[in-house]
Chains A and B, each alone.
Chain A
Amino acid sequence: MNLLSTLSLLAEAGSLFFTPSNSVFAPEVDNLFDLIYWISAFFFVLIVAVMVYFVVMYRRRPGHSVQPSPSHNNVLEITWSVLPSFLLVLIFVMGFTGYMNIRTPPDDAYEIHVYAKKWSWLFQYPNGAESSDLHIPVGRPVRFILESEDVIHNMFVPAFRTKMDCVPGRYNEIWVLADHSTGTGIKDEDHEPTWLFCAEYCGRDHSNMKAKVFVHETGDFDAWVAKAANLYEGRTMAEVGELLYKRKGCISCHSIDGTRKSGPSFKGGFGTAHKMADGSEVVMDENYIRESIRDPRAKVVAGYEPVMPVFPSSRLSDKDITAISEFIKSLK
């Protein structure tokens, strides 16, 4: 992207500092940003203008000498201490009221559980559906209950103007009410999603820990979430396995094209022998895959750190594991 096209994009977007927003409290945040911006610009221009003016006017040159002026003035000094304080109080109060809106979800909000882990997101909906990208309905308050399985992560959606840490060992919450959809229809291709980033440093793939945010029309959302809840209907086992591979975060460590990530690639691995860290050789079959998911440290492939998390049956059923095995089998 070159500079000119960026500048024209910015001109269309209207502001150098904002991206388009999609939450009811975003305008309040943006307005406060603008207010602080103009106050800052005013004082900055004032200070620099006075400084430049003095440097030019009173520069040391032949024939110019210091002119007497007082070296203190209590009235002046107290004035310039107290007057800005009023502006600061104004900014503080506006920031505080905006913050209370961002932090206070309505009682009737739709609830989505957010599981953060190295280095993927899992969103769990009330009907049991799960996804690795975020899908929410438009015009309906949504409350997110944030959890982390390992280290601190942070759910940051710039378009919502909100973020919150996912801290292991405690629940945090945020909420949003999106004011427009990102497209119509339940397929991903029908939408122009926005980004969700992890904003708290969490290790190697921190910068790849992002997801897309889809905001659906109300009817579309109900259809999407119903379909998402029933993974097996209308799909082959291998197709379900591929979905699980993406949604459960396998994708962040295991490639399917041979690329080396923190875990071995799945490509062409099924049915062949692999060398383990303890020197033994193990053939990758259904039993090995099952063991590696339930007890990842039992047999670790040579050359890799034992960093894979345990997936208990509450997270992946035996049927799910079978589907994943079928998917891996299909990767020749």
Chain B
Amino acid sequence: MSVGATPDRFQAADVDGAHHREDNYLLASSGLGSWLVTLDHKRIGVMYLIGIMASFFLGGIFALVLRAELFTGQKLFLSEDAYNQMFTLHGAVMTFLFIIPSIPAALGNFMLPIMLGQKDVAFPRMNLASFYLWIIGAVFFLCAIVFGGLDTGWTFYTPYSITTSTRVILALLGVFVLGFSSIFTGLNFVVTINTMRPHGMSWFKMPLFLWALYATSIIQLLATPVLGITGLLLIAERALRIGIFDPELGGDPVLFQHFFWFYSHPAVYIMILPAMGIVSELVAVFSRKHIFGYRFIAYSSIAIALLGFLVWGHHMFVSGQSQLAAVVFSGLTFSVSIPSAIKVFNWLSTMYKGSISLATPMCYALSFIFLFTIGGLTGLFLGALSTDIQLHDTYFVVAHFHYVMMGGTLVAFVGGLYYWWPKMFGVMYNENAGRLFCLIVFLGFNLTFFPQFIMGSRGMPRRYARYVEEFQIYHQLSTMGAFLLGIGMVGAIAVLIYSLYRGKKAPANPWGAATLEWMCSSPPSLHNFEEPPAVGDPYNYDNLRYDEREGGYVVVPGAAKKTSSH
């Protein structure tokens, strides 16, 4: 489809009755079959949402079992073997099945076409294929769990992964298939954004969430194939003993680490960039201020995506790689922190002189800024060479990446879910309950992970089933925090599910946002828009006024034309 074309279906729409029609995408057709073969990006997004939330639940249970086992430092109910499998599966499920696909595949799939004022993504069939590849990959993972487990750690380091008797090949096949799913999604998004922006939406009129998804997609396209190839090489090494990673056959185990981190470090930005995109939307909307420094935020997403490819070696400072390599990777690592810091400063400036609403999504956004700042700053200790040597592979690292990936990505994901929930399902959740569980998540999170910084810097290595007594107090605090966090997460999801049954009907635009997804009804109709929406500045809230009768925001008559002529 060419840029700016007006599809025929819009002209045929029944404009007058648009608001009252019950042809929303959820009701457009019924039966399980109509969902399984749907090409509608919204339904695919919802199916992804269900799948990744199930994965999150599974990974979360693993986490709580691990934390419970670590309460005393002695054996409670897990053998060493069971513990090793449990932390491996916690990491692998959370990384590959939950956090990498969470925002792009669930929220991105649902929102990206609507934010572009379009009916669907560029390749709807590829989108469905991507979802089924995800399912197949998840099934491989479940098979690996059921038939003998996996105990390599989610990193599959050689030569351990070549020698262990657990189900490495099944899990790697799962990773390989999941990689294809990720590539399909990324490709679809790149093409959609390149070719389907509506008339009037130049690159710099695009919502920042889409910039973030665009940057993410570039990483998915360029980095994921390396993971696929690495996985295949490792399978070949195990099955055929080709001698590329196994030192007994003349291979180099450190080579595997280079290959693995060449994907897996950029993957960290697949996780965090979309989260930053969500926070950019939330902070602007709930402050009712134009986002500050739009271009710097947009450029910094691209900068993070590109620089993220140059820093993988910082995972290998103590592997025995050359000192020159360590120094170069350390220097490059610091360069990534600048664009991240820029975003934080911009979000704060956006709030300046605003009208800040502490609705649940904004509470999650503020929580994100708090937690991501800790996560980012503790990265400095790990980027600096001499301090990294002390902290490498200790709980300090565990705490750091949980602050970034869970405190950052997960919190932003939940914030985004609350924000878009009325649009996705046409209902409003209970605001007080939402805020309460956000607070519990925040407190539980800090109680879980802050003590881990302390025990890590004091020498507690990661991936330990048992530990010496001096670390016990930190582990106990952490375990108590984990259960509080678990309560908060279950509560936060329960609030949303409850709203499906008892929630008030949502207006088209409950928050007063100016991006296009709020210009269609809640939930959207099958084709999203009855007529092409007017494209304006996505962060200009001047023409939106609260309407008592609607229960939401409406465009002030006569103002729409002014914005669209920008």
- The chain A residues found within 8 Å of chain B, CB to CB, are 1-3, 6, 16-19, 25, 28-29, 32-33, 36-37, 39-40, 43-44, 47-48, 50-51, 54-55, 58-60, 64-69, 71-73, 76-77, 80-81, 84-85, 88-89, 91-92, 94-103, 150-152, 154, 156, 158-159, 161-165, 167-170, 172, 195, 197-208, 210, 305
Contact = CB atoms under 8 A, between A and B. Distances in A.
27 contacts: A1-B469, A19-B459, A29-B386, A33-B387, A44-B377, A55-B366, A65-B355, A66-B353, A66-B355, A72-B292, A73-B293, A76-B349, A80-B342, A94-B386, A156-B461, A162-B389, A165-B319, A195-B459, A199-B392, A199-B461, A201-B157, A205-B80, A206-B463, A207-B80, A207-B461, A207-B463, A208-B466
B88 to A, nearest CB: 9
Interface string B343-356: 01110110111111
Interface of chain B, main secondary structure: helix
Contacts of A25: 386
A168 B462 CA distance: 21
A16 B294 CA distance: 40
A207 B468 CA distance: 10
B553 to A, nearest CB: 13
A165 B158 CA distance: 13
A165 B320 contact: yes
Interface of B: 80-81, 84, 151, 153, 157, 159-160, 163-165, 247-248, 251-254, 287-296, 318-320, 323, 326-327, 330-331, 334, 337-338, 341-342, 344-346, 348-349, 351-358, 366, 369-370, 373-374, 377-378, 380-381, 383-390, 392-394, 453-454, 457-459, 461-470, 472-473, 539, 541
B432 to A, nearest CB: 16
Contacts of A65: 355
A92 B84 contact: no
B247 A168 contact: yes
A43 B80 contact: no
A10 to B, nearest CB: 9
Contacts of A29: 386-387, 389-390
Contacts of A67: 353
Given A29-B390, A169-B252, 17 more contacts: A17-B458, A25-B386, A32-B386, A44-B377, A47-B344, A58-B356, A66-B287, A69-B352, A71-B290, A71-B292, A81-B296, A91-B380, A95-B386, A152-B253, A201-B153, A206-B80, A207-B465
The 4 A-B pairs with the shortest beta carbon distances in the complex, nearest first, are A169-B247, A158-B459, A98-B386, A95-B384
Given A1-B469, A80-B341, A60 B355 contact: yes
Contacts of A47: 344, 348, 369, 373
B467 A207 contact: yes
A6 B387 CA distance: 25
Given A58-B287, A204-B81, A172 B341 contact: no
A84 B377 CA distance: 12
A32 B384 contact: yes
Contacts of A39: 380
Contacts of A202: 160
A72 B349 CA distance: 9
A52 to B, nearest CB: 9
B289 A44 contact: no
A48 B461 contact: no
A155 B334 CA distance: 27
A92 B466 contact: no
Given A163-B390, A205-B80, A51 B366 contact: yes
A168 B288 contact: no
